């Protein structure tokens, strides 16, 4: 159940192949890829807290494993300066059947948005630069997974 923080890009096909290589117990494999949106954005610079990031992502992944019968999972998150269209994050989940994989991937992304120590600075095409604020909608998305 690896977690990787890296500046380099990732190859989704290669990651999927590695995740399922030599296995016949996986019936469903879901991937989510987050990309940098363009428009006014010239580039996005991602900063993180080395050490805590790995710890937080591993904790989120461990929580997903207690909730769904996952056969495998993977989180790759890039850091550094990324141009519009660039891949930022990959979440992959594998299970026997599709519901667990879909739900776990959604859960991992919702927690990753609010509980993993990443911050994004947006450099705009007009020269302005600012740190993106956390969105309340992201917190709401995470909180729907909270147990009563």
Nearest residue (CB) to another protein, 24 versus 146 = 146
Reported as type and span, the H/E element at residue 87 is strand 87-95
CA atoms of 51 and 40, how far apart (whole Å)? 32
Of residues 49, 69, 99, 143, which one binds another protein by CB under 8 A? 49
Q: Which stretch binds another protein (CB under 8 A): 10-18, 47-55, 65-73, 96-104?
A: 47-55
Binding to another protein by residue 34, rule CB under 8 A?
Answer: yes
Binding to another protein by residue 71, rule CB under 8 A?
Answer: no
Q: Shortest distance, CB of residue 133 to another protein, whole angstroms?
A: 7
Helices assigned H by DSSP within the chain: 12-20, 52-67, 98-115, 136-143
CA atoms of 63 and 23, how far apart (whole Å)? 23
**Which pair of structure tokens corresponds to residue 124?**
């705009």
Q: Which residues bind another protein (CB under 8 A)?
A: 34, 47-49, 51-52, 55-56, 77, 88-89, 109, 112-121, 131-135, 138
């Amino acid at each position: 159940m690896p977690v990787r923080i890296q500046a380099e890009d990732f190859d989704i096909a290669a990651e999927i192949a590695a995740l399922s290589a030599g296995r016949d117990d996986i019936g469903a494999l879901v991937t989510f890829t987050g990309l940098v949106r363009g428009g006014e954005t010239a580039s996005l610079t991602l900063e993180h807290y080395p050490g805590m990031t790995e710890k937080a992502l591993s904790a989120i992944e461990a929580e997903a494993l207690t909730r769904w019968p996952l056969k495998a999972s993977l989180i790759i998150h890039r850091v550094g300066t990324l141009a519009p269209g660039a891949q930022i994050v990959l979440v992959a989940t594998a299970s026997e059947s599709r519901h667990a994989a879909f739900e776990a991937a959604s859960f991992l992304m919702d927690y990753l948005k609010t509980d993993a120590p990443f911050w994004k600075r947006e450099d705009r095409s007009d020269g302005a630069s600012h740190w993106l604020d956390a969105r309340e909608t992201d917190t709401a998305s995470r909180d729907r997974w909270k147990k009563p």
